[in-house]
């Protein structure tokens, strides 16, 4: 136990960081591109991927 002078608070350490951490993320990308066949424009291709990631960390 740390005793502090009158009117003062004792110094304390900050809490340790968590040992286990988990995270999840999801991202959506909106991509559109023009499509051409033999040089003639045909239309627009819509490519919209969804990326999903999960991570886990254990500190030792």
Is 51 within a domain?
A: yes
Is 12 within a domain?
A: no
Distance of CA 11 to CAs 2, 7, 8, 35, Å? 8, 13, 9, 67
User: Residues 34-48: what's their mean pLDDT?
Assistant: 92
Is 1 within a domain?
A: no
The model's pTM: 0.48
How far apart (Å, rounded) are the C-alpha atoms in residues 31 and 44?
Answer: 10
Q: How many domains does the chain have?
A: 1
Residue 25: give the domain boundaries: 20-58
Mean pLDDT, the chain, rounded, equals 86
Per-residue confidence (pLDDT) for residue 8, from 0 to 100: 64
């Amino acid at each position: 136990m740390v005793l502090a002078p009158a009117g003062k608070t004792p110094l304390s350490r900050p809490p340790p960081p968590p040992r286990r951490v988990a995270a999840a993320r999801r991202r959506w990308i909106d991509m559109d591109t023009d499509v051409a066949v033999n040089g003639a424009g045909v239309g627009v291709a819509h490519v919209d991927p969804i990326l999903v990631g999960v991570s886990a960390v254990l500190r030792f």
